[in-house]
Structure formats: structure tokens, C-alpha cells
């Protein structure tokens, strides 16, 4: 493993990187350096965010388990500027079944590393209770797992840095965290929960390349907007491809929600979507189930 550069070496390396980038023939990726102060505090109103990431034994939030949890608190302004990144909380956890070789290959977490380890629920509850907002990169995944771990996460508003920022509009071709980091000019040690959190917060602290807006500001705008989940219950099977093309997804799990196609839409498109279902799918004036979603319910199985 390479040793960190000292001050003189760092200046030399930075000068070399700057020269390469100035040529127009190269792009240089810099290793992400953790920092606590991001922007000088100017006395404006602030909130406490907590970025959450989990590594798990698989993708099923019912059957699979958390094997690593990280939570990184950060201070942000209501306009989206990020001022401070606080010390991470990270903890390993031994699952009830052995970690598969595939998961170890992906995360680097072995059965030996988690043996006898547990997550201190008191600590994570204290951190989460103080948060004004919980953020994750793919909140639809992380929220389902951590709500099983502690009920405190169910009472908090959530935002998703992957789906609630229009990365495509900003010039990116994907939304994976490592890809976005490379687009922003840095790399980091991936697939460990705390590293992923810190990298995502750095992205949120950066201006977006096309709009110039703070990424965190755009995320807050999206998170604050309510939406509606519209269910196409008992839709004709032969029209499933039409629903898929329109962005509907299938809920196969049932539980508190119907086994049916659904789509999430904004306030201003709700009535038009219901009219589409009645006209094009049911061809009748049926009752359509529409449930209002805010940041308190979004990304949860409880919708």
C-alpha cells in the first residue's frame, strides 16, 4: 500500500496534476481526502443531516441482514450549502448466517471480521434522533434495512442522493456513487460503508456541472416536494408492457400494499395520471388508489 505524500510531495503532485489537466489531454482523479470543514459558517440557519449506508448479506430486506452500518453526521444550510462533516460512526455486525463469498468479494467483509460483532442500538438511536434529515445513496435500499434495525429511522424524513438529483440532466451517464465521484474528479476506497457516506457528502457539497446549483440544494428541493403513489390495481395483464413503458413498477411482495403496478408522480401530474389509467388501461370510471407521499414515508415499505 502506498504511503501518504508529505507536504512537499503533495505540492509537487498537485503541480503535476494541474499541468496535466491544463494540457486538455488528460483528466486526473484525486484521492478523496477526508475533511471536517467544508465551507466557512456564515451564521445562517443550519440543519443536521445524517448520511447512512449499509453493507448487507444480500438484496432482500426481509431475509438478508446488515453486516456493516455507517452514519456520518453533517451540518448543512437550508439553501443546501454544506459546512461541516462530523466523525463517522461505523460498526460491523455478525449475521445469523455465514456471509457468502460473493458478498465478501464485493464488500471485503469476511466472516472472521464480523465474528462476535454487534451494532450498539443506543448509539445509532442517539445519532438518528438528533438528525433533521437522513440521506442515503439508494435510500429505497438502505431505509428498508435500517428501519428493521431501529424504529427511530421510521420517524425521520429521508432523501436519496441517487434518485432525487437529475444526474443525467447534469451530464452524467449513470448514478452509481463511484461513477459520480469519478465525474467529480476524485476516487475513494469503495464498498465500505463509511467511505461511501463521506464520498456522497462530498458530492452533495459540490456545485452541479450544468446548473451550477449546490447538489445538496437540489436534493432538498426534491425531498421537500410531496408526491403521489398511484396504484393500477387489477390492471389487464395484456397491458403490462404499456404500464412498464410509462414507468410503472410491479410490487410483488404484497404486505401492506397491493400486488399491483404503481408509479410515483408529482402533485401537478396526479390528475392526468389517474385520467390515463381510466382512459387507456381500464376504459372505465374506476376508483384509482392514490396515496400521498412525503419525505417521512418515501422509500419505506410502509407506504
**In this predicted structure, what is the pLDDT of residue 173?**
87
How far is 246 from 96, CA to CA, in rounded Å? 40
Cell numbers describing residue 280: 387507456
> If you search the block for the grid coordinates 461513477, which residue do you land on?
179
Mean pLDDT of 223-245: 96
**In this predicted structure, what is the pLDDT of residue 41?**
92
How far is 242 from 238, CA to CA, in rounded Å? 9
- Band of residue 79 on the pLDDT scale cut at 50, 70, 90: very high
Mean pLDDT of 225-231: 95
Q: What is the rounded average pLDDT for all residues in the chain?
A: 92
Cell numbers describing residue 66: 446488515
**Over the stretch 2-58, which tens digit does the pLDDT of each residue have?**
555 667 887 787 788 788 778 878 777 888 888 999 999 999 999 999 999 999 999
Query: Among residues 108, 218, 73, 207, which one has the least CA distance to residue 159?
Result: 218
Q: Is the pLDDT of residue 1 over 50?
A: no
Q: Is the pLDDT of residue 175 over 90?
A: yes
Residue 195 β-bridge partners = none
10's enclosing H/E stretch is helix 7-22
Task: Specify the higher pLDDT residue, 21 or 289.
Answer: 289
DSSP helix/strand/coil, 66: strand
Q: Is the pLDDT of residue 65 over 50?
A: yes
**In this predicted structure, what is the pLDDT of residue 164?**
96
**Over the stretch 139-171, which tens digit does the pLDDT of each residue have?**
999 999 999 999 999 999 999 999 999 999 999
Beta strands 30-31 and 186-187: pairing type?
Answer: parallel
pTM score: 0.87
**In this predicted structure, what is the pLDDT of residue 190?**
76
- Band of residue 229 on the pLDDT scale cut at 50, 70, 90: very high
How much of the chain, in percent, has pLDDT values that exceed 90?
79
**Over the stretch 103-116, which tens digit does the pLDDT of each residue have?**
999 999 999 999 99
**In this predicted structure, what is the pLDDT of residue 5?**
65
Amino acid at each position: 500500500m502506498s504511503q501518504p505524500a508529505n507536504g512537499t510531495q503533495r505540492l509537487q503532485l498537485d503541480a503535476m496534476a494541474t499541468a496535466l489537466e491544463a494540457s486538455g489531454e488528460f483528466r486526473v482523479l484525486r484521492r478523496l481526502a477526508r475533511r471536517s470543514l467544508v465551507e466557512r459558517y456564515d451564521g445562517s440557519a443550519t440543519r443536521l443531516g445524517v448520511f447512512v449506508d449499509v453493507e448487507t448479506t444480500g438484496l432482500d430486506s426481509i431475509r438478508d441482514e446488515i453486516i456493516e452500518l455507517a452514519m456520518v453526521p453533517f451540518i448543512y444550510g437550508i439553501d443546501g450549502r454544506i459546512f461541516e462533516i462530523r466523525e463517522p460512526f461505523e460498526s460491523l455486525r455478525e449475521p445469523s448466517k455465514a456471509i457468502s463469498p460473493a458478498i465478501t468479494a464485493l464488500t471485503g467483509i469476511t466472516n472472521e471480521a464480523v465474528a462476535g460483532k454487534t451494532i450498539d442500538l443506543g448509539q445509532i438511536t442517539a445519532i438518528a434522533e438528533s438528525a433533521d434529515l437522513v440521506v442515503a445513496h439508494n435510500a429505497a435500499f438502505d431505509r428498508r434495512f435500517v428501519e428493521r434495525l431501529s424504529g427511530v429511522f421510521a420517524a425521520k424524513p429521508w432523501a436519496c442522493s441517487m434518485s432525487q438529483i437529475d444526474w443525467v440532466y447534469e451530464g452524467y451517464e449513470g448514478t452509481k456513487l463511484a461513477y459520480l465521484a469519478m465525474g467529480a474528479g476524485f476516487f475513494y476506497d469503495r464498498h465500505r460503508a463509511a467511505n461511501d457516506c463521506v464520498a456522497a457528502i462530498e458530492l452533495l457539497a459540490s456545485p452541479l456541472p450544468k446548473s451550477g446549483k449546490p447538489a445538496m440544494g437540489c436534493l432538498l428541493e426534491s425531498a421537500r416536494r410531496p408526491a403521489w403513489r398511484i396504484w393500477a390495481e387489477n390492471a389487464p395483464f395484456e397491458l403490462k408492457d404499456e404500464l412498464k413503458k410509462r414507468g410503472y413498477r410491479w410490487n410483488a411482495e404484497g404486505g401492506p400494499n397491493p400486488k399491483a403496478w404503481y408509479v410515483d408522480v408529482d402533485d401537478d401530474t396526479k390528475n392526468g395520471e389517474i385520467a390515463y389509467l381510466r382512459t387507456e388501461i381500464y376504459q372505465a370510471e374506476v376508483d384509482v388508489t392514490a396515496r400521498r407521499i412525503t419525505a417521512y414515508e418515501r422509500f419505506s415499505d410502509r407506504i
